[in-house]
A and B are shown apart, each in its own frame.
Chain A
């Protein structure tokens, strides 16, 4: 039978390259990077291959089918109720033993799958040789060596999966130790005639693991089975001296080690590798911190200095463009209107891209290298002071790019409480759009020192809010447990591509908004609405914050997108030389207010989605009030000190 349409899913542990495979197959650009937990929601894409239309699903990484965090639950639920024709189980082949734990559970689920041993390009450097044929024979599933970033081996994996569709071979069952197997068998017998969504053997094993989901499932209809399981669990506990759920996990580890040993040979390299040296330095108990500060400072300075330079170069193009444009098309009402749109888009490009491009490029390098996980490690102690743990650094750092994915990324935190606390702090992190405003105002006209000062002030505010929130929000803090990724050489080509995608996305989304905002301002101006709006807000904007009243409309537009504040300021004032029309205090306060005053509309939507409307509203009100209070105080302090 020929199926023209096939559904496949990518599954495996975290950080094994599933999203790289997904991107390669579908041509989409899912977030990739070298730390566990980037993909928090399933993503879909399509591929046309050898006459088939293949729907590909990218899933969050999951280590075991008995996991607790939100993104892991998604994968578990999908795999159990799955509708895909086959699964590609992606594995980091340099960590075969630990990755096999997931594979063993897929076998237990009795779903058709193929195994893709990814990162094959790193095997040699790590002194590992793998016998993929032997592994295929042991597991009873097709196995291929794959290098996803180079696109190698993926076609074979697909071919194997497709040809296995017609064969209907069942994956092999690997056996645990005798005591465990006996009890699995006993449970299988009682489970035999009960309709379940899982295979009986899988259900039996999960019962021995005291899996809550399956216990809930059987509780009302078949309490006798739970009783039986309880007795068997106690027997196991007596033999081993610890909980039966731990016994099963242990047996699974042993089985994985046993399989790995048969197919893998390691010759440890004699020299201490570069990675180890780097790890030694960046994770050093004392030196690690100055290194981290240095890395972040270099990034800050590059973005601000480099951005300002590139921005001023680009700006010089505008008059040239203007004369050429009018020279060609003549100076009529239509051409003036068209050129005003062109110049606002140009303002967007010249004000934003010079900062956003290097920022993302550097962030992606750190991400792909694996440095972000080291930051999480180093910052764990500090994060505990605000009621969360080191992993929260990952959404916080992503927040410097854009708060929206950062909010979703809070799902890597284990409890509801920590997700909320992390989300709360994340939306205070100045995103790249805010950076554009701060860099284009304070950085450019007051200097790097003041910009740096603003960031420090915001970090201090984040810390204080965290301290207070950790006390108010009820619940116990949990502890950091994270797999540490090994350092990898960043792939510059992929990084450049992803930076380019970010820029393209930025222009596509922000461009129309800028044009429409320009029209709105023009329109409001022509019907005489601009002054009433400005006047309405002026008790706050000019009386308290000391800003020109015209900034009121900017701050309203800024709710749409933060960079509009700067771009529209340029178009309202008719110049990008803001120092000519704003005082130093105004430049500083406008920057600070932009950093704090409200999450942008997309972030509010993300907050609503993740935490509900009450919390979204609460955070919004909190940010607005803080911006007003702190902005006014800074304005007065600055004037006082001058």
Chain B
């Protein structure tokens, strides 16, 4: 999988499904997200978003997670 045609999680709409391509973050944040199950090749679904692409609620590996705007921007995904 390439990072070229990947988009940021922020660009997805409510109810869309995607596959995580990469996480563009430092060692610590990447590890923290990985511990929560956000790793490359994992399916992710947007459950809801607040206005201004604020935090969003996503579903990963059967768990509901809230991600702030800044984190969501670091998660690169590919629509599926």
Residues of A within 8 A of B (CB): 63-64, 66-68, 95, 97-98, 101, 209-210, 241-243, 245-246, 249-250, 253, 257, 279-280, 283-286, 288, 373, 376-378, 380-381, 384, 389-390, 479-484, 486
Whether the Cβ atoms of B34 and A377 lie closer than 8 Å is: no
For the complex, what is the distance from the CA of A483 to the CA of B59, rounded to whole Å? Answer: 10
User: Contacts of A377 on B, CB cut-off 8 Å?
Assistant: 50, 55, 57, 66
Of all A-B residue pairs in the complex, the 8 with the closest CB atoms, nearest first, are A480-B68, A249-B34, A479-B68, A250-B39, A479-B70, A64-B35, A484-B64, A381-B54
User: Contacts of A376 on B, CB cut-off 8 Å?
Assistant: 66
Please tell me the number of chain B residues within 8 Å of chain A, measured between CB atoms.
36
Shortest distance from the beta carbon of B22 to any chain A beta carbon, whole Å = 7
Among B30, B48, B65, contact of A481 (Cβ-Cβ < 8 Å):
B65
For the complex, what is the distance from the CA of A384 to the CA of B71, rounded to whole Å? Answer: 13
Closest chain B residue to A480 by CB distance? B68
For the complex, what is the distance from the CA of A253 to the CA of B36, rounded to whole Å? Answer: 9
Seed contacts A242-B22, A242-B23, A288-B50; 15 additional CB < 8 Å A-B pairs: A67-B35, A210-B27, A242-B40, A245-B30, A246-B30, A246-B31, A250-B39, A253-B37, A280-B48, A376-B66, A380-B55, A390-B68, A479-B70, A481-B33, A483-B65
For residue B45, CB closer than 8 A to chain A, the reply is: no
User: Contacts of A286 on B, CB cut-off 8 Å?
Assistant: 51
Query: Which of A378, A384, A480 gathers most chain B CB within 10 Å?
Result: A480
User: Contacts of B52 on A, CB cut-off 8 Å?
Assistant: 381
Among A210, A378, A484, contact of B65 (Cβ-Cβ < 8 Å):
A484
CB-defined interface of B16-59 with A at 8 Å, one 1/0 digit per residue?
A: 00000011000110111111110111100001111110110100
Among A249, A250, A285, contact of B50 (Cβ-Cβ < 8 Å):
A285
**Known contacts A245-B30, A253-B39, A479-B71; A95 and B66 CB within 8 A of each other:** no
User: Contacts of B41 on A, CB cut-off 8 Å?
Assistant: 250
Shortest distance from the beta carbon of B50 to any chain A beta carbon, whole Å = 5
Whether the Cβ atoms of B35 and A98 lie closer than 8 Å is: no
**Known contacts A245-B34, A249-B34; A68 and B66 CB within 8 A of each other:** no
User: Contacts of B23 on A, CB cut-off 8 Å?
Assistant: 242, 246
Whether the Cβ atoms of A479 and B48 lie closer than 8 Å is: no
For the complex, what is the distance from the CA of A212 to the CA of B49, rounded to whole Å? Answer: 35
For the complex, what is the distance from the CA of A219 to the CA of B65, rounded to whole Å? Answer: 36
Whether the Cβ atoms of B68 and A95 lie closer than 8 Å is: no
**Known contacts A283-B48, A285-B50; A66 and B65 CB within 8 A of each other:** no
Whether the Cβ atoms of A480 and B50 lie closer than 8 Å is: no
Shortest distance from the beta carbon of A233 to any chain B beta carbon, whole Å = 11
For the complex, what is the distance from the CA of A209 to the CA of B31, rounded to whole Å? Answer: 9
Shortest distance from the beta carbon of A411 to any chain B beta carbon, whole Å = 16
User: Contacts of B62 on A, CB cut-off 8 Å?
Assistant: 95, 97-98
Shortest distance from the beta carbon of A229 to any chain B beta carbon, whole Å = 15
**Known contacts A210-B27, A242-B22, A484-B66; A283 and B57 CB within 8 A of each other:** yes
Shortest distance from the beta carbon of B53 to any chain A beta carbon, whole Å = 10
User: Contacts of B12 on A, CB cut-off 8 Å?
Assistant: none
Whether the Cβ atoms of A285 and B48 lie closer than 8 Å is: yes
For the complex, what is the distance from the CA of A381 to the CA of B51, rounded to whole Å? Answer: 9
Shortest distance from the beta carbon of B58 to any chain A beta carbon, whole Å = 9
Whether the Cβ atoms of B40 and A250 lie closer than 8 Å is: yes
For residue B6, CB closer than 8 A to chain A, the reply is: no
Closest chain A residue to B73 by CB distance? A479
User: Contacts of B66 on A, CB cut-off 8 Å?
Assistant: 373, 376-377, 380, 390, 480-484
For the complex, what is the distance from the CA of A98 to the CA of B64, rounded to whole Å? Answer: 10
Whether the Cβ atoms of A389 and B36 lie closer than 8 Å is: no
For the complex, what is the distance from the CA of A101 to the CA of B67, rounded to whole Å? Answer: 20
Shortest distance from the beta carbon of B15 to any chain A beta carbon, whole Å = 11
User: Contacts of B42 on A, CB cut-off 8 Å?
Assistant: 250, 253
For the complex, what is the distance from the CA of A286 to the CA of B23, rounded to whole Å? Answer: 29
List 8 contacting pairs A-B, 8 Å CB cutoff, sorted by A. Answer: A68-B28, A243-B27, A245-B34, A250-B41, A283-B57, A380-B55, A381-B52, A481-B68
For the complex, what is the distance from the CA of A128 to the CA of B57, rounded to whole Å? Answer: 23
Whether the Cβ atoms of B22 and A481 lie closer than 8 Å is: no
Whether the Cβ atoms of B36 and A63 lie closer than 8 Å is: yes
**Known contacts A98-B37, A377-B55; A479 and B69 CB within 8 A of each other:** yes
Whether the Cβ atoms of A481 and B69 lie closer than 8 Å is: no
Closest chain A residue to B3 by CB distance? A241
Closest chain B residue to A210 by CB distance? B27
Whether the Cβ atoms of A481 and B67 lie closer than 8 Å is: yes
Query: Which of A63, A210, A249 gathers most chain B CB within 10 Å?
Result: A249
Whether the Cβ atoms of A284 and B48 lie closer than 8 Å is: yes
Shortest distance from the beta carbon of B76 to any chain A beta carbon, whole Å = 12
For the complex, what is the distance from the CA of A376 to the CA of B71, rounded to whole Å? Answer: 16
Whether the Cβ atoms of B31 and A245 lie closer than 8 Å is: yes
For the complex, what is the distance from the CA of A484 to the CA of B66, rounded to whole Å? Answer: 6
**Known contacts A63-B35, A380-B50; A98 and B61 CB within 8 A of each other:** yes
User: Contacts of B63 on A, CB cut-off 8 Å?
Assistant: 95, 97-98, 483
Among B31, B40, B49, B55, contact of A66 (Cβ-Cβ < 8 Å):
B31
User: Contacts of B33 on A, CB cut-off 8 Å?
Assistant: 481
Closest chain A residue to B49 by CB distance? A285
Among A246, A390, A480, A483, contact of B64 (Cβ-Cβ < 8 Å):
A483
Whether the Cβ atoms of A380 and B54 lie closer than 8 Å is: yes
User: Contacts of A98 on B, CB cut-off 8 Å?
Assistant: 37, 61-63
For the complex, what is the distance from the CA of A447 to the CA of B48, rounded to whole Å? Answer: 40
User: Contacts of A280 on B, CB cut-off 8 Å?
Assistant: 48
User: Contacts of B22 on A, CB cut-off 8 Å?
Assistant: 242
Closest chain B residue to A248 by CB distance? B34
For the complex, what is the distance from the CA of A283 to the CA of B37, rounded to whole Å? Answer: 23
User: Contacts of B32 on A, CB cut-off 8 Å?
Assistant: 67-68, 481
Shortest distance from the beta carbon of B59 to any chain A beta carbon, whole Å = 9
User: Contacts of A380 on B, CB cut-off 8 Å?
Assistant: 50, 54-55, 66, 68-69
For the complex, what is the distance from the CA of A282 to the CA of B46, rounded to whole Å? Answer: 16
For the complex, what is the distance from the CA of A250 to the CA of B34, rounded to whole Å? Answer: 7
Among B39, B54, B68, B71, contact of A249 (Cβ-Cβ < 8 Å):
B39
Closest chain B residue to A286 by CB distance? B51
User: Contacts of B69 on A, CB cut-off 8 Å?
Assistant: 380-381, 384, 479
Closest chain A residue to B40 by CB distance? A242
User: Contacts of B57 on A, CB cut-off 8 Å?
Assistant: 283, 377, 484
Whether the Cβ atoms of B64 and A249 lie closer than 8 Å is: no
